[in-house]
Amino acid sequence: MTTLYLIRHGETDANKQLILQGNAETSLTELNDYGRKLTTSAAAEFSTLSFDWCLVSPLKRAQETAHLLFDHSDCPIKVDNRLTEINYGIWNGQSILELMKRYPQYWRKKTGDVCGHYEQVSNGEPINDVDQRVAAFLNSLQGVSDNQCIAIVTHGYIIQTILRALQYPNIQTIKNLQAIEVQLNSQFLLNSKNTVTTSEF
């Protein structure tokens, strides 16, 4: 079996202030001091695992997380643009709580992420488009040799989308530096016969 570790990036000031980041790149979306400190500490935990490679979002907060976690190991890091966070359009940089209050119909209560045709009011990336690029990413892993261990450093919405694609039934809000281990069957990735465990660092 192939093992994936889905890892959300470390904390940013936008996370701390409950500001929607999306694919924005600002000073608020970079790792803050606490995020860097916790990620550096988590690197010691990850050093006990043997990763064959790491795939990472092109956004700076994910890239810095990946390099803090794996630069002191033999794990090669490769950028995959399909792992970038959803573009929330004009909602990028706005208060999550205010958006939830103003547009409750476009938010999943359980996971705290967008749903439906939220792009009609935000001019953001349609959810179907995100689903398609995540499915393409997962399908690209079908050629990976069995028994590989792959770290995927990305964002909360993308991790939730991956779990939905794998038909994982109990999706929660993804915390910073939360690592979700997915054991993939060797037949077809988009299949319910996968096991998922979570851990936090």
The answer to whether 117 is a known ligand-binding residue is: no
Which of these, 181, 184, 183, lies nearest to 139 by C-alpha position? Answer: 184
Residue 102 annotated as part of some ligand binding site: no
Is 8 annotated for ligand binding?
Answer: yes
Answer yes or no: 125 catalytic. no
Catalytic site residue from 25, 30, 67, 85: 85
Q: What is the C-alpha separation between 34 and 31, in angstroms, rounded?
A: 8
The reply to whether 24 sits in an annotated binding site is no
Q: Which residues does 155 contact at the CB level (< 8 Å), separation at least 6?
A: 8, 9, 21, 57, 59, 62, 83, 84, 85, 86
12 within 8 A of 21, measured Cβ to Cβ:
yes
Active-site residue, 155 included: no
Q: Is 9 annotated as a binding residue?
A: yes
Residue 61 counted as an annotated binding residue? yes
- Binding site, annotated residues: 8-15, 61, 85-88
- Binding site, annotated residues for substrate: 8-15, 61, 85-88
Active site residues: 9, 85
